[in-house]
Chains A and B, each alone.
Chain A
Amino acid sequence: MTLADSLFENLRLELRRGCLTLAVLAQLRHEYYGYTLRKSLADRGLVIDESTLYSLLRRLESQGLLTSEWREEDKRQKRFYRLSNIGEQIFSQLLKEWHDINAAINGIL
């Protein structure tokens, strides 16, 4: 990997980091468990690897933005996530922030 490729990769990861949080919060307005959430995001064009997603889910839960519960489905124990009340509030604020930033970037470009 050249220096330019390495630099681009670092900046790309930085750009994605904030977007992934918003995407996950948006999806979890409906209930998902980890695997189906990842598939759902991938189907909509946002590929995220398992360990990044699962650690993000745990962090958001520890911050109080998500709630989770273990349930049996198809004879397997699965952990289902969805937005908490605070999570919905924060998501709305982040969504507005996202639109503002988008509009600003479009204005600059």
Chain B
Amino acid sequence: MELLDRYLQAVKKHLPWKGQDDILAELRANLEAQLEDKEAELGRPLTTSEAEAWLKQIGPPMQVAARYQSQQYLIGPAVFPTYWFVLRTAFLWTFAIYSIVSVVQIFSAEVPSATAVLDAVLRLPAIFMTTAAWVTLAFAGLEFVVTHYPTKWPLAPGSSSAGYSPDWSPGSLPPLEKQGVPGMKQRTFAHAAAEVIFGALLLAWLLLIPQHPAVLLGPGAAYLHVSPFALSRVWALFYWCVVALNALQLTWRCLDLWRGSWQQPPPWQQIAMKLLGIIPLLSLFTVPDHAWVLLKHPALDQARYGETLSTINQGIYRMLLFICAITVLQLLWDIGRMTQDLYRKRVAAM
């Protein structure tokens, strides 16, 4: 029957090469026997539609052929836990190294720009995919060796030590971890109280700076009067933002002490403070023409100090970009950890 021949031809395309002819001959013999039985029951040959219905019942050629394949994994269950651990670690290291390299590249350019930062961020998915591809390829190779040469590989599937070092010992397991917010040590009352005291002292010191700049600059404060340079007004805005932030943080800590929640401050509190901490930094970018430092007497001093002034302002710009980048990265890290912890707690409670 031509339809049966076409069916077997389609099955053959997906059969494993080893023993292909033998498998096909047996399949043909059995299907022809089935066909004979059906035709004997009906007393006539099958019609085309009946033959199609019968072959459809047997199954699609690829599916039928697949049952003759040996079970194969790209990365099998014995090796997968190690693969998953290595992949996550590789992502972390890739992110860390790429971030450092990108920061260095951006700030070593003549004029660091936000476009360069955006380009670096947009390249990140491709970097991650390349990392994942190499790690997966390596472990697929390992799976192939473990499957095809089990006697030459000590960690063959089915062995009691598959996926683990044969030398592991229960005695070398890490000590019990104290329960608490991951990444945050348990705080004692003395620690929390000390934070309040030093927070108050810091605020007091900040408030003294405008009238007594020597508390910030020491003896160098005398140079302010003779220096040709002056700070632009944006620094006043920055200063009051910093004062407000410290006052807020001090108030928060006092409330924590009063309410008794100083032992485990919620992780969102730290994130909120870091978010608010970006405000003073952003306030500095409102200065026009990146002129954080000005000349007291531009008409007199421009020729002599103009280049120095430009260098100072460029340096401040790079420093601010760098601090912003570090702050944003820290914030993203903390948000990532908090999200992961919340998800883990939610899933664990299911």
Contacts and interface: CB of A to CB of B under 8 A. Distances in A.
Interface of A: 33-36, 38, 49-52, 54-55, 58, 70, 76-79
A51 B63 contact: yes
A77 B67 CA distance: 23
B26 A79 contact: yes
Given A50-B58, A51-B59, A77-B25, A35 B30 contact: yes
Q: Which of B23, B64, B67 is packed against the most chain A CB atoms within 10 Å?
A: B67
A30 to B, nearest CB: 18
B153 interface: no
Given A34-B29, A35-B34, A76-B33, A51 B64 contact: yes
A33 B27 CA distance: 11
Interface string B6-44: 000000000000010001011101111110000000000
Given A35-B34, A50-B58, 20 more contacts: A34-B29, A35-B33, A36-B33, A49-B58, A50-B27, A50-B30, A50-B31, A50-B64, A51-B59, A51-B63, A51-B67, A51-B68, A52-B67, A54-B30, A55-B68, A58-B68, A76-B29, A77-B29, A79-B25, A79-B26
B67 A55 contact: yes
Interface residues of B, number: 17
B32 A76 contact: yes
Contacts of A77: 25, 29
Contacts of A51: 58-59, 63-64, 67-68
B248 to A, nearest CB: 50
- Secondary structure of the A contact surface, majority rule: helix
B68 A49 contact: no
Contacts of A78: 29, 33
Contacts of B33: 33, 35-36, 76, 78
Which 9 pairs show the lowest CB-CB distances between chains A and B? A55-B67, A35-B33, A34-B30, A51-B67, A51-B64, A35-B30, A79-B26, A55-B68, A78-B29
A33 B26 CA distance: 9
A54 B27 contact: yes
Interface of B: 19, 23, 25-27, 29-34, 58-59, 63-64, 67-68
Contacts of A50: 27, 30-31, 34, 58, 64
A23 to B, nearest CB: 18
A36 B29 CA distance: 11
22 contacts: A33-B30, A34-B30, A35-B29, A35-B30, A36-B33, A50-B27, A50-B34, A51-B59, A51-B64, A51-B68, A54-B23, A54-B27, A55-B67, A55-B68, A58-B19, A58-B23, A58-B68, A76-B33, A77-B29, A78-B29, A79-B25, A79-B26
A52 B63 CA distance: 11
A79 B21 CA distance: 13
A58 B63 CA distance: 16
Nearest to B11: A51
Contacts of B34: 35, 50
A35 B27 CA distance: 9
A51 B68 CA distance: 8
B195 to A, nearest CB: 52
A29 B27 CA distance: 22
B58 A54 contact: no
A54 B69 CA distance: 12
A46 B34 CA distance: 18
Contacts of A70: 25
B62 to A, nearest CB: 11
A42 to B, nearest CB: 12
Contacts of B30: 33-35, 38, 50, 54
A28 to B, nearest CB: 15
